[in-house]
Amino acid sequence: MASLWFVLGLCLIVTVCAAPDKIIFDPRGHHDSSKSVKDAPNGTHVPPKVSSPAPKSSPAPKSSPAPKGSSASPKPKQMRPFFVFGDSLVDNGNNNFLYTIARADAPPYGIDLPQHLPTGRFSNGLNIPDVISEYIGSEPALPYLNPELDGKKLLVGANFASAGVGILNDTGFQFLNVLRMPLQLQYFKEYQQRLGKVIGEKRAKEHVNKALVLVSLGGNDFVNNYFLFPGSARSQSISLSDFVKFVISEYRKILKTHYEMGARKVMVLGTGPMGCAPAERAQHSLNGECAQNLQAAAALYEPELTKLVQDLNAEYKQNVFVAANTKLMHHDMISDPKAFGFVSSNTACCGQGPYNGLGFCTSGSNLCKNRNEYVFWDAFHPTERANRLIVQQMMKGTEEYMKPMNLSVMLSIDSHM
């Protein structure tokens, strides 16, 4: 699945419900039936403490035309277009329109949204793009495959993400039909053509130039590819360090394509501490420690991703890309949950088996009463409250978390077209 939070951007293996028996509509014209790593990443790193404890419940507003969270975020005066690419950490419903097993369209997903219904988000409530939308003063961008994304709604932006995808095209094959990155980028081009018919080609180009772009990839390439099973073909054919270099080289092509298509403010999420997800603890731990192999992968990948961002910015002679160290952000909450108001950082709120990390999150799963007390919602994905803390760090974090600048600074700088 994606880069979980931990991947975060993670989204590793998708913790999804079985596809319902229904016809899946695709606006494109198709109809388908339907050992332990415990040290802090930076050694002497001391995570920031939150100033207030977690709320005692998981409230949601009484009514709202678009999902709103339990605590409003500060909004600037002018709305900014927002485009989202990647995996299940940031998918807000595209997979609902596909014939795939990577889906979150059944309860209890969405339990803390205003209507208490699933929307395709891999969360109990809002996901990372939703919270960012609050900060930039915008309603959440609709999934690109949603037929409602048309006309003036195109001005808000679009979400192209699809649970299960990775940087590599052969990642996530077990999920059947998902929007792999070449297709997400093809749809981005199509979106710009559609927008041009609404506001004109020149204004459409300017609209894309000033937009914020979020990309979440990489976790699935390790969880659902290199480490998919012991002795996988990929792990037998290439060393982990060389695989990381290969993935980064492919990621470079993806990010350069974003630039070529007009993106000028791009935030790139890391994979996070993949081995600490409940699913990985359940499958690879005797005493609850994080899975060593995935932690080693994250430790190799994160600095390479930061270097990639720095190299691209140097090439373009401007700070187009920002690297979000989600591994460190999530490690803070996992290593000292009480400092952030959490009760549990190793057990999922929804699931079954050890650490609620086995199988899917379904209506028959164990379900915690207070989602605000848990870092993880399901076997791989964060709760809404964890997502909010992550975005808070993205907005205001120091260079330790956000390089070369945090999102607040990035958004204050005019795009160079």
* pLDDT tens by residue, 85-132: 999 999 999 999 999 999 999 999 999 999 999 999 999 999 999 999
CA distance 240 to 246: 10
Question: Pick the residue with more confidence: 125 or 58?
Answer: 125
Burial 249-267 (b: 16+ CB within 10 A, else e): ebbbebbeebbebbbbbbb
> Whole-prediction pTM value?
0.84
Q: How confident is the model at residue 48 (pLDDT cuts 50, 70, 90)?
A: low
**408, 115 Cβ separation under 8 angstroms:** no
Per-residue confidence at 26, pLDDT binned at 50, 70, 90? very low
- pLDDT digits 0-9 by tens, 323-346: 999 989 989 999 999 999 999 999
Given a cut of 70, is residue 42 above it in pLDDT?
A: no
pLDDT of residue 67: 42
**Of 3, 88, 138, 285, catalytic:** 88
pLDDT in tens, 231-243: 889 999 999 999 9
pLDDT in tens, 294-329: 999 999 999 999 999 999 999 999 999 999 999 899
Closest to 216 measured CA to CA, from 144, 167, 257: 167
pLDDT at 155 over 60: yes
pLDDT for residue 62 is more than 50: no
pLDDT over 80 at 40, yes or no: no
Percent of the chain at pLDDT > 70 equals 80
Residue 273's pLDDT band (cuts 50, 70, 90) = confident
Q: Residue range 273-289: average pLDDT?
A: 90
Q: Cis link prior to 404 (omega < 30° from 0)? A: yes
Say if residue 390's pLDDT is above 50: yes
Residue recorded with tokens 């910015």: 313
What is the band of 78 on the pLDDT scale with cuts at 50, 70, 90? low
205 contact partners, CB below 8 Å, separation of at least 6: 192, 262, 417
Token pair 């297709």: residue: 183
For residue 202, what pLDDT is reported?
96
- pLDDT of 231: 87
The mean pLDDT value of the chain amounts to 84
pLDDT tens digits, residue range 219-264?
999 999 999 988 889 999 999 999 999 999 999 999 999 999 999 9
Least confident piece of the model among 44-48, 197-201, 405-409: 44-48
Q: Is 162 a catalytic residue?
A: no
pLDDT at 79: 75
pLDDT band at 191 (very low <50, low <70, confident <90, very high): very high
Catalytic residue flag (residue 138): no
Are 26 and 344 contacting, i.e. CB atoms less than 8 angstroms apart? no
88 tagged catalytic: yes
Say which residue, 27 or 266, is predicted with more confidence.
266
User: Rounded to an integer, what distance in angstroms lies between the CA atom of residue 153 and that of residue 151?
Assistant: 5
Question: Measured between alpha carbons, how far is 156 from 244 in angstroms, rounded to an integer?
Answer: 35
